[in-house]
Amino acid sequence: MIPEFVPYPDSRLSERAAPRPVDASLRATGDRLKAAAIAASAYGLAAAHIGEIAPVVVVNIAGEAEQRSDLLLFNPQVTGMAETLERGTEGSVSMPGLQVEIDRPQWVDVVYEDEAGTRQVRRFEGLAARIAQHEIEQMNGAFFLSRLSRLKREMVLKKWKKRAG
C-alpha cells in the first residue's frame, strides 16, 4: 500500500530540519521513510514527505526505482560538488505526475551519519547525486521547484493547479 504523502504546498515542505543525534526516534523515522520509498517506488524521500521534520533522507543508490539499494543518511550535508552541471528530470511525491528539467552538479560529496551515528563521507555521482541533492535540499526546506526561475516556476504551478482542478 502506497502511503499518503504530504501534498504541495503544505508548510512542512518548507521547514528546515535541525541536526540532532541519531537515536531510536530518528532511526524509527528512517525506517518509516525507507518503507514509504519502497512502497511508492520512489528514488528518494525526505522526512517532510511523510509529515516529519527530521534530518534524515533516503536515497536509492541503485539508480532505478525497480531495483532497490536504499541508503539512509542522517544529518546529511553536501560538502563539495562538481562545477559541471547536468540537466535531468525531477519530480516529487508531493506533486505526483509533475516532472521538470533541473540542472544540478554531476557529483556531490556528502558527510552524514549512518544508523549507528558514525560519521561517513561518500561521493554520489550521476542519478544518485541528483537524488541526494534533491532530498537534502528538501530536508533543508527547499522544495525542488525553487531551483527553477521565477517565470518557469509560475508556469509550472499554473499548469499544476489547472491539472489538479
pLDDT at 64: 67
- From the list 52, 90, 113, 135, the catalytic residue is 135
Query: Containing domain of residue 36, as a range?
Result: 11-164
Residue 107 belongs to a domain: yes
pLDDT at 67: 79
pLDDT band at 165 (very low <50, low <70, confident <90, very high): low
Q: How many domains does the chain have?
A: 1
Q: What is the pTM of this model?
A: 0.95
**Residue 53: C-alpha distances to residues 19, 20, 56, 81, 83 (Å):** 10, 11, 9, 25, 30
- Digit-coded pLDDT (tens) for 92-115: 999 998 999 999 999 999 999 999
Residue 6 belongs to a domain: no
Residue 2 belongs to a domain: no
Tell me: pLDDT of 146 over 80.
Answer: yes
Residue 18 belongs to a domain: yes
Return the percentage of the chain with pLDDT > 90, whole number.
Answer: 88
> What are 109's strand-pairing partners?
80, 123
User: Mean pLDDT over residues 2-6, rounded?
Assistant: 87
Average pLDDT over the chain reads: 94
Residue 37 belongs to a domain: yes
- Digit-coded pLDDT (tens) for 36-78: 999 999 999 999 999 999 999 999 998 666 778 999 999 999 9
Residue 156 belongs to a domain: yes
Residue 135 annotated in active site = yes
Residue 46 belongs to a domain: yes
Domain harbouring 54, CATH code: 3.90.45.10
Residue among 68, 63, 77, 69 at smallest CA distance from 135:
77
pLDDT band at 7 (very low <50, low <70, confident <90, very high): very high
